[in-house]
Amino acid sequence: MAKIEPIVYGDRRVYPVAAFNHGLAGYIARLPTVWVEGEVTELRRADTWANVFLTLKDARSGACLPVTIPRARFDALELGLVDGERVHVEGRPELFEARGSLSFRARTIERFGEGEHAAALARLRRVLEAEGLFAPARKRRLPRFPRAVGLLTGTDAAARGDLVTAISTRYPPAWLVVHETRVQGRGAARRIVEGLRLLAEHPAVDVVVVARGGGGFEDLLPFSEEAVVRAVASCPVPVVSAVGHEQDEPLCDLAADVRASTPTAAARLVVPDLDELLSGLGQSRRRLAAGTRQALARDRGRLERTGERLRAAPRLLLERRRATLLATGGRLRTLSPVATLGRGYAIVRSGGAIVREAASLSPGDGVAVELAAGSFDARVDEVRP
């Protein structure tokens, strides 16, 4: 590297910015590679970029270090990094001369500590999600009035006390079936699965609450183990998960039918509020009484109107029958032979039979003539066809 010469101003030796940055960059380039530990933040990658950019953050002090790594090398590692993961990065510092900014040029990245667990959980989450274990369509509704609530929690856990107090206060008739077990450390996942099975087999338990108070990342790991997640998803009764704090999201939260942010919130989900039920019952009773009064008044009015119609019905029927009879009598009178005779016609009989044709008579035959009023006999003198 060419020697950087300063500009001399009297007894002062001054380096231009470009010359200083160039010299510093050359000095930094001679430093050996080192390993740096930190949490991944601000991870940025694009297919059109030559490099991937991220920031390493010291969790205790908050100190930050910008890092770059060639995109092809980063993709070849197939890490699937997300913000918050803890990693070890190998590389060396470098100076971007044009801006005088220092960054860390990475050669490789490896997960470390919680970051490795987080990556494993991310992979497991993708597998279980692909199987449909977290699908909203398989979530079941919680029973409105469970016969008994199963509670799975740790021994002497504060979450248990909060749940028991909240449920007993909210709905005193509630029946609680409590199963205490190990919820962290070696063997915890197996104990959780067994406890869940025992509660689900209880003949009166209609819903199970899996509860655990807050804790560190590793404390909550048993609730993200595959066996526990599958046990929650396949439980024959609905499951409410109340594990950790609001910001925590163990995988059992995703498999449960309902997630509760706190044990108190879980109590509100699994049992009704007795005071609200009594208040609602009182309102229903008042509405029922008002509805009964309205129905009674409506039926009384209908009965009175029906009675009036029944009292008036015989008279109306008689009038209708009289009118019908008069009309029928009028039609009969119109069709009666007597009415025809009244208009000046006569009925002529010969030998008791009605004479319809003059040709049926002979001169000298006797006939009987019936008029509208009275009758007489006559003898035929002449027949005219």
Q: What is the pLDDT of residue 330?
A: 76
- Residue of 250, 274, 134, 146 lying closest to 208 (CA atoms): 146
Q: Could you tell me which residues come within 8 angstroms of residue 78 by beta carbon, excluding any fewer than 6 positions away?
A: none
* 96, β-bridge pairs: 101
269 three-class SS: helix
pTM of the model: 0.50
Query: Are 7-112 and 120-275 in the same CATH fold?
Result: no
Q: What is the pLDDT of residue 312?
A: 80
Tell me the H-state helices in the chain. 17-29, 71-77, 114-130, 158-170, 188-201, 226-234, 251-255, 263-270, 274-335, 337-342
Domain boundaries, the chain: 7-112, 120-275, 339-379
- Dump pLDDT digits (tens) for 284-299: 888 898 888 899 989 8
- CATH code for residues 7-112: 2.40.50.140
Residue 259 is which amino acid?
R
Q: Could you tell me which residues come within 8 angstroms of residue 232 by beta carbon, excluding any fewer than 6 positions away?
A: 196, 210, 239, 241, 252, 255, 256
What percent of the chain shows pLDDT beyond 90? 33
Q: State the chain's mean pLDDT as an integer.
A: 86
Q: What is the pLDDT of residue 194?
A: 94
Least confident of 104-118, 182-196, 331-345, 366-380: 331-345
**Predicted confidence band of residue 148 (pLDDT cuts 50, 70, 90):** very high
C-alpha pair distances (Å), 299 with each of 81, 222, 289, 311: 74, 66, 15, 18
Q: What is the pLDDT of residue 53?
A: 95
pLDDT at residue 317 greater than cutoff 90: no
**Predicted confidence band of residue 157 (pLDDT cuts 50, 70, 90):** low
- Residue of 284, 255, 290, 317 lying closest to 127 (CA atoms): 255
- Dump pLDDT digits (tens) for 25-81: 888 888 999 999 999 989 999 999 999 999 999 878 889 999 999 999 998 887 778
Q: Could you tell me which residues come within 8 angstroms of residue 198 by beta carbon, excluding any fewer than 6 positions away?
A: 179
Q: What is the pLDDT of residue 350?
A: 87
In terms of C-beta distances under 8 Å and separation of at least 24 residues, what long-range contacts does 197-205 make, across chains too? 197/231, 199/150, 199/151, 199/152, 200/150, 200/235, 200/236, 200/237, 202/148, 202/150, 202/177, 204/147, 204/148, 204/175, 204/177, 205/146, 205/147, 205/148, 205/149, 205/150, 205/177, 205/237
Pick the CATH number of 120-275 from 3.30.1520.10, 3.40.50.261, 1.10.3720.10, 3.40.640.10: 3.40.50.261
